[in-house]
Amino acid sequence: MGIHYQRMHRDLKIAGYAKSTQANYLLCAKHFVAHYMRSPEALGEEDIRNFLEHLQETKASGAAGIKMHLAAIKFLYTTTLKRPEEVVGIRWPKVPRRLPVIVSREETLQLLQAVDCVKYRAVLMTTYGAGLRIKEACSLQVADVDSKRRLLHVRLGKGGRDRYVMLAESLVAFLREYWRAERPCGPYLFPGDSPPGVVSAESVRAALRKAAAVVGITKRVTPHTLRHAFATHLLEGGCDLRIIQVLLGHGSIRTTTRYTHVSTHLIGSVVSPVDAAFGAPAGGGATR
């Protein structure tokens, strides 16, 4: 892409996109240009449509990947090349909305207890106890912990938004235990092996996968699974959905409502209209 790569990179930084998003958009734009081996200035709407169709037909990328490519191309043409007419008529692909994997409270306890490294367990307990994204948990600073007010300050979460989340008493107790054992130096609560960096998110993921294997949980478990569990367990405990939205840092309530679809406890407690019409069997026993 040459000069266009540099200009797009600059535009992404000016627009305030996260570094990971910048990298993904630039990679997708390079993929698009490499497909034709021509400058993006020499390409137009029909070329973009053919490229997206190529991705779909070759299954080189799933629906989410195609959407990412389109987002990158839209940014390239709208912002960097200032030719929005080339992409304005291209609609976003539909991405299947799969329900997240949820672990029960008992499974969550087993997982956390099976993590043998105190630092990794502290990160994962914070992820579950406060509903954080893994990068948010790894990036916490000592000054972000307000044990008196029982609050955690999450800085620059997704979308560049700060927020406060609750700090459970049991989490405070474990963090104090972790502090006595590790005595972390510097501003970060969970420093990495090479100061002044933070603990590696991938190392935390690996520790959780190992714990899942130890306790025999066959579900695909990641730190984000613990964030899903946090939201679902709060919902099952009667917490208001809008409070959960704020705690998770969701920009839209629509993102939070998916937890109403995965809470088997809530689904199982709903009274079917057939029972309301005909009455449940005496004793509520199952048909044999």
- Quote the pLDDT of residue 161: 80
Active-site residues: which are they? 133, 158, 224, 227, 250, 259
Query: Tell me, what CATH number does 51's domain have?
Result: 1.10.150.130
Residue 276 lies in a domain: no
Say yes or no: 148 and 202 in one domain.
yes
The residue written with tokens 């502290």 in the block is: 122
Distance CA 66, CA 69 (A): 5
Say yes or no: 238 and 139 in one domain.
yes
The residue written with tokens 């007419």 in the block is: 85
Asked whether 76 and 12 are in contact (CB, 8 A), the reply is no
Dump pLDDT digits (tens) for 63-105: 888 999 999 999 999 999 999 999 999 998 887 777 778 888 9
Distance CA 1, CA 31 (A): 10
Measured N-to-C along each axis, helices 105-114 and 118-130 cross at an angle, to the nearest 10 degrees, of: 160
Say yes or no: 119 and 71 in one domain.
no
Residue 27 lies in a domain: yes
In the chain, % helix, strand, coil (3-state, to 5) comes to: 60, 5, 35
Q: Given 59, 86, 113, which residue is the final one in a domain?
A: 86
The pair phi, psi for residue 166, each rounded to 5°, is: -75, 155
Say yes or no: 184 and 239 in one domain.
yes
Residue 100 lies in a domain: no
Say yes or no: 152 and 261 in one domain.
yes
Residue 260 lies in a domain: yes
Whether 275 has a pLDDT exceeding 70, the answer reads: no
- Quote the pLDDT of residue 254: 80
Number of domains, the chain? 2
Residue 73 lies in a domain: yes
- Quote the pLDDT of residue 282: 59
Query: Tell me, what CATH number does 203's domain have?
Result: 1.10.443.10
Whether 287 has a pLDDT exceeding 60, the answer reads: no
CB contact set of 242 (below 8 Å; sequence gap of 6+): 253, 256
Say yes or no: 72 and 136 in one domain.
no
Say yes or no: 140 and 253 in one domain.
yes
Say yes or no: 144 and 247 in one domain.
yes
Say yes or no: 232 and 135 in one domain.
yes
Give the range of the structural domain holding residue 235, as residue numbers without chain letter.
105-267
Say yes or no: 116 and 251 in one domain.
yes
> Please, which pLDDT band fits residue 261 given cuts at 50, 70 and 90?
low
Residue 277 lies in a domain: no
Residue 20 lies in a domain: yes
Residue 44 lies in a domain: yes
Higher pLDDT, 45 or 98: 45
Dump pLDDT digits (tens) for 161-197: 889 998 888 999 999 999 998 888 879 999 987 656 8
Distance CA 288, CA 283 (A): 14
Dump pLDDT digits (tens) for 15-27: 988 888 999 999 9
Length of the chain equals 288
